[in-house]
Structure 1
């Protein structure tokens, strides 16, 4: 179907005058003339014709479409705000309306929300079809007048300046969902306590964040990640063997679709559940790697369901034709587990489902995506999984043109690439059959936990100038849009960003982050405090701000994960839960391993150098990271970008430091007073008391000097905005142990002196008794 027909079929009647006038554009382009290589087509095209065409396309038509987008979305937001104003105020017990009146309000609200939802859906279709129309018109122009003029770069810049295609509808959708829920609950269609009545526990869910990374920022992003997460080493022979020379794996995926590109359309337009089929392997095909055939289903609730089977290369052709149904694998599994085992039944069901789906949709290989992956993850801890894909290349793998097929129609892959073991940049591939992506793809998968919702370094990276967010980016969609643009009539929105420089100024990036946070807060507060304590939204849709706590929460888990590294099994290579519409599976982590050390306790808990407590492990791990050698070619920065702004420290931080200093001086004064009193009361002959008083004086001086030194050291850390710990355990340890020893010695000396005095008194009494006895005997003798 030609795009002109597609555009006319997509027109929403109330907005028919607001769409791109595609026929007018084609008339200005004089599409009926001969091609520039013909007899006079290019000679009749003047500078004035070019200026008229460019102005009409990039100014008149684009501003008309963009203005309608802005006005309509603003009107929809106002209508949503008007509905929100009808919600009851939970702080007021007496709302002034009866229950029947509130039900009438709920019915009217549902009708208005239905209208808002319909207009919002039509607005999304309006944006997409017009966006595709602008790109199609630019392509027609460059193909016809490309010998002298190119309009697509100008159009890309103008699309970036008038971003009618990049509106984020998610905040408004959440608000509409909350109002829908209130109205249904008020009308009795939905129970307010529905969630509390079920015993089903939600499974672990991941939220995926996708970003583009410019080549100039690639090394900085890698080093930033290396300081927080270790590289997940991939070793195809044995995951227990860590090979430091092992290179990052090269992954290859071959995507399937039919001649109408139905799977592509379902992903771009989101008209139905997204489906995709692909073959995936690691390394060169000549190395006989494990090949995985995967079918992915993405439902309306954005949850994905994957079906995967491992298949050998020699069976792929017969499997795709339906001639082979994995009989050998199934038989081996039956012999090992029995024919009635659940694993055997699941394998049979998966084989039948994938084969029937390929047959019903008439799918065949159309696109190859090849890239090099670097994975970052703490072994045994899958709460944060980061992958960085570089050298991303898309290659046509189709046989759509029977006269010049890119692939042998009787084979499932291009033999010229795999037999010759071609690597990036695939210089032997023809220009029209390959597209090299200019940026790296950073994907961060975060499990919804308290730890990940309050993670400072993750929040800083995701909002920094080093990355550019592309929420809906898909390798399959991008490859088809780049290499099969003549076969499809809908394009993803991110194509316009490829012609622009994605690098940003750090100050500008920070200001944009603050604006986003403010807008997000306004959207969350728009419904009012009515929703403050309700359970209307699922926890998996909530994105917390990771900036509340410092990054020190992360390092406390590293040493524990390092201990579990040797216990990882082969299941580390199996994939875990993925985000919707993910096109990049690779080496994934296992479930979190719980490692406990029974040697904790006793004096070890007081000595960080020997303790296995979380506090001690955190200190040791931080020291290990600080002293770790940097990668080759990387220099330690002389300053941090985060430290270049104005110094803003809360008053309570300074006051806390001063309060600690005053406490130390208080301790010093008390010890000095005690020592002086003891010295004066001891007298000249009491040497023990005089010595103890001198010891107390030494500790008093140490406490005063230590308090002052720590106060100055912490003030320096605060001024430098250092991320180091402020803990200082040596001073309290020395003073406490020293005073305890002094008291014990004092008691021992006094006890020994008392025993000596007692013995002396007994000896004197005995001597006097014997003298009296001798005197009595002498008197008697006389």
Structure 2
């Protein structure tokens, strides 16, 4: 189906005018015209103005329109959710309060109204996610059409991907909002229908033991070795199928091949992208080369409505795979052997049921091999302890395995796999595969599975929050391969495609700050949701302020003290449960929060005085925090309990600063003494400046001694106050600058006066000589002198 028709069917009527105008983009692209090689394009060529009009409409007009609507709708949904929370808070009975029949009736009415509102919010959240996905796909489709038709001179897709990575509409996570809705639904139903089932039911606890929480991440190629060594210090490498337990040589990491199935209409792919209920997947999976006759497993996985999964798996031999896919092979011999044992009757029935389920699933959906995923896996796990399971997949290659093009099939339609790969033992990077049939994923894939409640040890949490990994929730090799290799056959793409062009490496301190913000935001949401359930007074167990940066434990990262001393940006408001860096370092913290204020001119002036330093360290130290409930100020810190032990370099640094101030004092005194002695008795300006410089020299010496004693006292007391002080340097610098300016001004004025006096004297002298000087003699008519003076 063409994307235009898919878009029309996906439109949510109330939001009809806010979708991407795909028809207009195709009109601007002039898709109805022929390609560049035909005569029609030569008669009406694609110009710079056409390119500018298309890019302007795609990048600025349509993308901004979609993003603005998504942001506004998401904000509105959160406000409506907060309003529902406020209504439900009033329904929470106070301690010791007895409810009357009237109050209970009123609570039911309010709960019914909130339930109706929650239904509307839940529906719009679902529609908003579909809205984001279909528009995201539309932008990629439009960019691809442009690059395919006009790509010889202009390419838009890289620019579009950079722009998409900067906008939230295709990357916003609605999980916190859905979690809030889920809690409120439970509370409302408890009011309307009675008590909800207890979460500590023994059966539920038994089932919870087998549940794993999965976390997926991307790892940049530069960080793979660092991640491996970090995990190896806690978990050993899980060895696959060692030949003998006595061998000392550990085999190489196995190469795993997964062959994914789908229908020609890609039904399974579309269900998985849309996260449809009961979405299923089917794959064949084996380790190592197929020529070594490994065990082949056919696996069907169904995602249940509660985000769990159910798996059906059978083991096959290579010669029976094609027969089983056609429904001809039924494991008759194996079933006969199992039926001979009376105690295996239940297993026989279960095995028959699994066989029938797999074959009917293939038959009903017309499934066939579509995609091959080949990768090298390194697994980490303590033998016999499956609480923490970690796998790192590298060299991931996704290869087409379909026969959709009858003229150029990727495999033999009568076989179940590509023999050109398996018979020749082809390995990564599969250089012989034709372009367009293979995609090599640029990063490694890290998956952490935690058993039970999903909480790992401190080192696991540090790894997941570090700069070495980038979180990639719901990433799927199958979905990524289909989206990259079959983009002409599908009309829905996963959101992570827009991030492939970005550099996923991060600065350690930036990663730490982002993780702290995320944890604080989650804690704030947990408190808001739990407030009407009577648990709002307790901090969220998922938020635990870290001592220093967790990434400081990795090689090349910043030290814990430096990361902890890094202050937060002043523009970001203080989270209610976020512990500032001063408290993490062990410094005394005041329990009352200080509101954020806009700096005024008077407050800026106070920054120049000794007690109001504006350094980053001092600002972090002056931050205040609201201590969590049940936590009080200790009064005396553990760091102050023992004897004072200060490194020598701290004392020496203080002494060096004192010596520098004395050096400045001596220089100023020498300058003032020389200036005063060189000036004569009549040069009052020079003598005055000499006295001024002497005053500054005395001030520098006294200030240096004062600061030396003050800092020495702070060091001995282990004070948390700041050591730097800008008052003294500013006074000396401003004073010297003012003295030099005044010196120049006085000398300039004196010089101008002297020049003016000389000019007046010269003028008066010239006029006097011309009027009173007698003639020197009389001259005859012939020019001879007659009389001389």
For 2:201 and 2:501, the matched residues in 1 are separated by 52
Contact persistence 1:455–1:546 (CA under 8 A): no
Quote the residue 2:585 is aligned against.
Answer: 649
Q: In 2 relative to 1, CA 321–7 (structure 1 residues): closer, same or farther, beyond 3 Å?
A: same
Quote the residue 1:771 is aligned against.
Answer: none
Say if 2:397 is the partner of 1:399: no
Contact persistence 2:237–2:379 (CA under 8 A): yes
Q: In 2 relative to 1, CA 225–32 (structure 1 residues): closer, same or farther, beyond 3 Å?
A: same
Contact persistence 1:235–1:243 (CA under 8 A): no
For 1:122 and 1:314, the matched residues in 2 are separated by 47
For 1:396 and 1:641, the matched residues in 2 are separated by 47
Say if 2:196 is the partner of 1:260: no
For 2:284 and 2:234, the matched residues in 1 are separated by 33
Quote the residue 1:292 is aligned against.
Answer: 297
Say if 2:33 is the partner of 1:33: yes
Quote the residue 1:722 is aligned against.
Answer: none
Quote the residue 1:316 is aligned against.
Answer: 321
How far does the alpha carbon of each residue in 1:724-759 deviate from its partner, in whole angstroms, 9 at most, with x for none? xxxxxxxxxxxxxxxxxxxxxxxxxxxxxxxxxxxx
Q: 1:224 aligns with which of 230, 238, 257?
A: 230
For 2:144 and 2:151, the matched residues in 1 are separated by 9
Quote the residue 2:84 is aligned against.
Answer: 83
For 1:638 and 1:508, the matched residues in 2 are separated by 14
How far does the alpha carbon of each residue in 1:141-200 deviate from its partner, in whole angstroms, 9 at most, with x for none? 11101111111000000001112011111111111111111111111x242354466655
Q: In 2 relative to 1, CA 243–261 (structure 1 residues): closer, same or farther, beyond 3 Å?
A: farther
Q: Secondary structure at the residue paired with 2:299?
A: strand
How far does the alpha carbon of each residue in 1:99-130 deviate from its partner, in whole angstroms, 9 at most, with x for none? 11111101101111111111111111100110
Quote the residue 1:475 is aligned against.
Answer: 477
Report the aligned-residue RMSD: 2.7
After superposition, residues 731-770 of structure 1 pair within 5 angstroms as none
Quote the residue 1:358 is aligned against.
Answer: 362
* Residue 402 of structure 1, CA deviation: 1.1
How far does the alpha carbon of each residue in 1:259-294 deviate from its partner, in whole angstroms, 9 at most, with x for none? 111010110012331201100000000001000011
For 1:661 and 1:4, the matched residues in 2 are separated by 76
Quote the residue 2:55 is aligned against.
Answer: 54
For 1:311 and 1:179, the matched residues in 2 are separated by 47
* Residue 245 of structure 1, CA deviation: 3.6
For 1:506 and 1:407, the matched residues in 2 are separated by 46
Task: Report how many aligned residue pairs link the two structures.
Answer: 569
* Residue 659 of structure 1, CA deviation: 4.2
Q: In 2 relative to 1, CA 291–502 (structure 1 residues): closer, same or farther, beyond 3 Å?
A: same
Q: Which moved more, 1:201-210 or 1:37-46?
A: 37-46
Quote the residue 1:104 is aligned against.
Answer: 109
Say if 2:241 is the partner of 1:235: yes
Q: Which runs of 5+ in 1 are unaligned?
A: 535-541, 553-625, 627-635, 663-714, 716-782
Quote the residue 1:376 is aligned against.
Answer: 380
For 1:551 and 1:31, the matched residues in 2 are separated by 53
Q: Which runs of 5+ in 2 are unaligned?
A: 566-583, 588-633, 645-717, 719-789
Q: In 2 relative to 1, CA 133–365 (structure 1 residues): closer, same or farther, beyond 3 Å?
A: same
Contact persistence 1:58–1:155 (CA under 8 A): yes
Quote the residue 2:71 is aligned against.
Answer: 70
How far does the alpha carbon of each residue in 1:516-562 deviate from its partner, in whole angstroms, 9 at most, with x for none? 1121112111124332459xxxxxxx98357779999xxxxxxxxxx
For 2:338 and 2:291, the matched residues in 1 are separated by 27
Q: 1:544 aligns with which of 539, 542, 545?
A: 542
- Normalised by the length of structure 2, the TM-score is 0.68
Contact persistence 2:259–2:285 (CA under 8 A): yes
* Residue 332 of structure 1, CA deviation: 3.1
For 2:57 and 2:223, the matched residues in 1 are separated by 37
Q: In 2 relative to 1, CA 546–309 (structure 1 residues): closer, same or farther, beyond 3 Å?
A: farther
Say if 2:200 is the partner of 1:192: no
Quote the residue 2:513 is aligned against.
Answer: 511
Q: Secondary structure at the residue paired with 2:450?
A: strand
After superposition, residues 53-202 of structure 1 pair within 5 angstroms as 53-87=54-88, 88=90, 89-91=92-94, 94=97, 98-187=103-192, 189-195=193-199, 199-202=203-206
Say if 2:522 is the partner of 1:520: yes
* Residue 324 of structure 1, CA deviation: 1.1
Contact persistence 1:454–1:544 (CA under 8 A): no
For 1:408 and 1:173, the matched residues in 2 are separated by 46
Q: 2:279 aligns with which of 274, 287, 292?
A: 274
Q: In 2 relative to 1, CA 641–7 (structure 1 residues): closer, same or farther, beyond 3 Å?
A: farther
Contact persistence 2:289–2:425 (CA under 8 A): yes
Contact persistence 1:372–1:389 (CA under 8 A): yes
Quote the residue 2:437 is aligned against.
Answer: 433
Q: In 2 relative to 1, CA 196–246 (structure 1 residues): closer, same or farther, beyond 3 Å?
A: closer
* Residue 62 of structure 1, CA deviation: 0.5
* Residue 396 of structure 1, CA deviation: 0.4
Contact persistence 2:547–2:585 (CA under 8 A): no
For 2:349 and 2:234, the matched residues in 1 are separated by 43
For 2:222 and 2:483, the matched residues in 1 are separated by 26
How far does the alpha carbon of each residue in 1:481-530 deviate from its partner, in whole angstroms, 9 at most, with x for none? 11111111101111101111111122221221121112111211112433
Contact persistence 1:459–1:547 (CA under 8 A): no
For 2:339 and 2:548, the matched residues in 1 are separated by 52
Contact persistence 1:253–1:278 (CA under 8 A): yes
For 2:643 and 2:562, the matched residues in 1 are separated by 29
* Residue 328 of structure 1, CA deviation: 2.3
Q: Secondary structure at the residue paired with 1:399?
A: coil
Q: Secondary structure at the residue paired with 1:306?
A: strand
For 2:191 and 2:296, the matched residues in 1 are separated by 53
How far does the alpha carbon of each residue in 1:36-60 deviate from its partner, in whole angstroms, 9 at most, with x for none? 2333527711112111111111111
